[in-house]
């Protein structure tokens, strides 16, 4: 899901260049409800958002209307078969996206959720990283933090082992743990 035509076009070019045919780009924004809303296109594309945030790196180039959908609506249309991971990076609207997925995300077989949280962006929506954490926990998820680790030998960044976290942490992996497994903290 990419509501910005500029970023969606770049993504489609990248998919074509890499001959990836199993990806569909949908030019809509995810939120808590179906509808329309203004969308802020940032000059760098990294801070595009449904709001003007207090993030110092967000410089808005222009605003345009976007169509909104929800996780639950998409899953009702396409089904849940094969859905194992949802990645959410929506510059502050994370809680809205989670609220639009309550039916799926409360199910015992719900997919894992990888989500990036930043208070500077979330505050524009009356939210915070703590509220996102609380929502995921209310849905029955166990939260693990992911941090990039630079390997100086090859100049690479790799994610090191996740560890159980509480707020704040930048990037989370939220997993529904099988009751028979108990605590699987790495």
86-110: pLDDT as tens digits: 999 888 899 999 999 999 999 999 9
Rounded to whole angstroms, the Cα distance separating 160 from 163 reads 9
- Please report, for residues 23, 130, 134, the alpha-carbon distance to residue 16 in angstroms, rounded to integers and kept in the order given: 10, 39, 39
User: What are φ and ψ of residue 151, in 5° steps?
Assistant: -95, 105
Mean per-residue pLDDT, 18-32 = 93
In this prediction the pTM is 0.80
Could you tell me if residue 136 is left (phi over 0), alpha (psi between -120 and 50 degrees) or otherwise beta? Answer: alpha
- Please report, for residues 39, 47, 67, 92, the alpha-carbon distance to residue 80 in angstroms, rounded to integers and kept in the order given: 28, 30, 22, 26
111-158: pLDDT as tens digits: 999 998 888 888 888 998 889 989 999 999 988 887 655 555 544 444
């Amino acid at each position: 899901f990419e509501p910005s035509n500029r970023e969606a076009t770049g993504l489609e070019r990248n998919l074509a260049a890499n001959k990836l045919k199993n990806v569909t780009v949908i030019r809509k924004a995810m939120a808590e409800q179906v509808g329309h809303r203004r969308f802020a296109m940032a000059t760098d594309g990294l801070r595009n958002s449904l709001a003007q945030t207090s993030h110092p790196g967000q410089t808005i180039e222009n605003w345009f209307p976007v169509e909104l959908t929800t996780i639950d609506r998409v899953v009702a249309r396409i089904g849940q078969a094969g859905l194992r991971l949802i990645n959410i990076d929506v510059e502050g609207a994370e809680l809205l996206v989670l609220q639009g997925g309550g039916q799926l995300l409360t199910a015992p077989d719900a997919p894992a959720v990888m989500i990036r949280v930043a208070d500077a962006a979330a505050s524009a929506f009356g939210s915070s990283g703590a509220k996102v954490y609380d929502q995921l926990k209310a849905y029955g998820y166990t939260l693990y933090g992911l941090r990039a680790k630079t390997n100086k030998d090859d100049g690479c960044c790799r994610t090191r082992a996740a560890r159980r976290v509480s707020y704040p942490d930048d990037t989370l992996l939220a997993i529904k743990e099988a009751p028979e497994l108990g605590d699987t903290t790495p």
